[in-house]
């Protein structure tokens, strides 16, 4: 039997050996499956060796990734801008608004250009959707640049309420997209492994949007809360886009009626959540605006 030290050495071989084993196993697996040798006795040796190699790589990652993360995190904190980005939520929101605005504008240009080139309304609908997001984020960026966050609550409430009204119009673009998916067979399509990457990214931004929506709401800043509501709306529409892509990739055995029903239910659910967030923001901001105005009038 292997003692503890020998087992540790076996599961943690030198890096050069792991690289060599990974290269050999990859080449062997390609030959095995390419030439239909998957049932050959030697193939089972390759499977075992590949499993061992994968295990050593996973263990090496488990051991090194936390250290690399701590090192990278410390380097970020050592830089003044990085330290502020990690500790100042207002500054982080400001930076994220700029990034999101630039991405939205890029999507507007790309989809509008695609609509002109391919002569299809589908891309113009997508351009309209991203334009609405860009308008709201531009209004928030402009307010933060001119006034800042936490300095003028009355102004934040009014700007947040305005974005709430604009957010309601997002359902127009969403409804148009759903109708085109249902009746014109439009939608999204990602080939090969790209669909798995898009799925992981979509679930990541949705989870992050939910966490930030709760986290930033506790800070009491209407502008920061609205920024996260916009991110949440964008993430939900991305989920709808992913659903259509999944149907295109894996829904060959699914009946058209079932597919349409799923798209209708998802589209209605996304629309209901967006409307609820918009109305809640409008009502909440309006009530507080009136309270502030009444208090000011009473003081006069």
pLDDT tens profile 39-89 = 778 888 888 888 888 888 888 887 787 777 777 777 877 777 777 777 777
What integer is the mean pLDDT of 11-32? 85
Instruction: Scan for tokens 């009502």, then name that residue.
Output: 283
CA distance 233 to 274: 6
Question: 155-175 in b/e burial notation, b at 16+ Cβ within 10 A?
Answer: ebbbbbbbbbebbbebbebbe
User: How large is the average pLDDT for residues 249-270?
Assistant: 82
Residue 10 is predicted with a pLDDT of 78
As a whole number, mean pLDDT of residues 177-200 equals: 75
Contact 95/85 with Cβ under 8 angstroms? yes
Q: What is the mean pLDDT of residues 170-178?
A: 85
Residue 12 tokens, joined:
């943690």
φ/ψ (deg, to 5) at 193: -70, -15
Segments of the chain assigned E as strands: none
Structure tokens at 292: 């502030």
Confidence band, pLDDT 50/70/90 cuts, at residue 204: confident
Burial (CB count within 10 angstroms: exposed 0-12, middle 13-18, buried 19+), residue 178: buried
Spatial distance between the Cα atoms of 239 and 188, rounded to a whole number of angstroms: 11
Name the residue with tokens 């193939």. 43
Residue 194 reports pLDDT greater than 60 = yes
Alpha-helix runs per DSSP H in 12-120? 15-34, 41-78, 80-87, 89-118
pLDDT of residue 63: 79
H/E run at residue 135: helix 121-146
> Torsion-angle region of residue 132: left (phi > 0), alpha (psi -120 to 50) or beta?
alpha
User: Residue 196 gets which letter from DSSP?
Assistant: H
Least confident of 53-62, 89-98, 187-196, 278-287: 187-196
How high is the pLDDT of residue 124?
87
222 and 159 in contact (C-beta within 8 Å)? yes
Tokens of 286: 């309006």
At 102, the pLDDT band (50, 70, 90 cuts) reads very high
Q: What is the reported pLDDT for 187?
A: 66
Is pLDDT of 172 > 80?
yes
What number is the average pLDDT over the span 103-118? 87
Task: Calculate mean pLDDT across residues 234-250.
Answer: 81
- Please tell me the predicted confidence (pLDDT) of residue 213: 83
């Amino acid at each position: 039997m292997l003692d503890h030290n020998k087992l540790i050495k076996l599961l943690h071989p030198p890096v050069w050996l792991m690289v060599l084993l990974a290269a050999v196993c990859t080449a062997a697996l390609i030959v095995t499956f390419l030439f239909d040798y998957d049932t050959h006795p030697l193939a089972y040796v390759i499977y075992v060796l590949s499993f061992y190699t994968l295990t050593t790589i996973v263990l090496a990652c488990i051991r090194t990734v936390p250290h690399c993360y701590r090192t990278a995190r410390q380097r970020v904190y050592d830089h003044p801008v990085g330290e502020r980005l990690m500790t100042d939520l207002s500054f982080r929101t400001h930076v994220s608004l700029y990034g999101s605005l630039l991405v939205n504008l890029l999507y507007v240009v790309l989809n509008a250009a695609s609509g002109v080139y391919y002569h299809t309304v589908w891309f113009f609908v997508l351009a309209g959707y991203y334009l609405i997001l860009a308008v709201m984020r531009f209004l928030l960026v402009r307010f933060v640049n001119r006034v800042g966050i936490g300095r003028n609550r009355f102004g934040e409430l009014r700007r947040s309420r305005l974005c709430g009204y604009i957010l309601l119009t997002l359902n127009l673009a969403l409804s148009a997209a759903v109708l085109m998916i249902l009746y014109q067979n439009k939608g999204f399509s990602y080939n090969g492994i790209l669909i798995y990457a898009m799925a992981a990214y979509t679930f990541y931004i949705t989870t992050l949007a939910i966490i930030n929506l709760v986290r930033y709401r506790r800070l009491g800043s209407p502008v920061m809360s609205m920024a996260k509501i916009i991110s949440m709306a964008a993430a939900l529409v991305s989920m709808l886009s992913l659903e259509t892509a999944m149907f295109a990739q894996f829904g060959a055995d699914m009946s058209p009626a079932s597919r349409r029903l799923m798209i209708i239910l998802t589209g209605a659910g996304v629309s209901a959540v967006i409307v609820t967030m918009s109305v809640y923001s409008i009502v909440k901001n309006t009530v507080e605006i009136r309270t502030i105005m009444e208090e000011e009038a009473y003081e006069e």
